[in-house]
Structure 1
Amino acid sequence: MAARKCSIANALAVIGERWSLLALREVSLGQRRFDQIAANTGASRDILAARLRKLVEHGVLRKEQYEEHPPRYEYVLTEAGRELQPILHGLMQWGDRYVTEGPAPTVWEHACGAELHTTTVCAHCGQPVQPGESKLVRLGGVPQG
């Protein structure tokens, strides 16, 4: 039996590995150089290099040279990478609620100064989407019953 084709599986093929997500967290927090990312994630250098290379290949990050001699690069979020920030926020929020014991170790702050809480909102009506209020209507071009 063939595996179900879906965008979640496709996305996980690019970003769905621990070190990739932690590298994205670090770049989102402004830690753009390899040594900074390695220190803050705890990833081994070879694994981190492979994950960063994959994120660059898929257009989630781009490398920018910051030193010529010797050539040194830092990692910058692309538009695709910036659009992952709500996913990272939501994952952290879920971890704070269901996994982490005690107070949250990190908090994201909105530009207005308030603590950031991610919510899924309907693009049509603007209402927050609650669990169980949505349904799959098309899977791989096939309407669902």
Structure 2
Amino acid sequence: MRTMKEEFEQTDGTQFPGKTFMDELLKPMFYDQKEHLFAAMFSIHKAHTTMLSEQGILTKEEAEKILYGVQEIEQMDIEQMEYSSRYEDLFFFVESKIGELIGDELAGKCTLPRVEMIWVKQCTVSSCEAIFRRRWNRQSS
């Protein structure tokens, strides 16, 4: 007889993100972010980079390279973006793509995922509540 833990690991695996967490939270959140936050994300990225440059945290050259990367990724075909467990959410996906263009070290100097975590956490609470309601309704039916 298997323990609950063994049954859970059989279904969800032992690596992060687990199947349930990925299917019920991360994947739906990625598509919600893509649909509702994609355009705003780039405005925030540009403003954040400009502020860091104006405050002397980034050099002018660094800011120009980052803005180039942001503008290039902003032109991506949003319909071609698909969720992958390789990226926790859309913010990390975008940061990774910017890093591929300008280098991870420079992209990390203006990392939006860390700036946006408070914003995302607020959205996540609502998403979690909705997910649990959906799952509960499926199980109750």
> What is the TM-score normalised by the length of structure 1?
0.23
Greater strand proportion: 1
> What is the TM-score normalised by the length of structure 2?
0.24
Looking at both structures, which has the greater relative contact order when contacts are Cα pairs under 8 Å and sequence separation is at least 6? 2
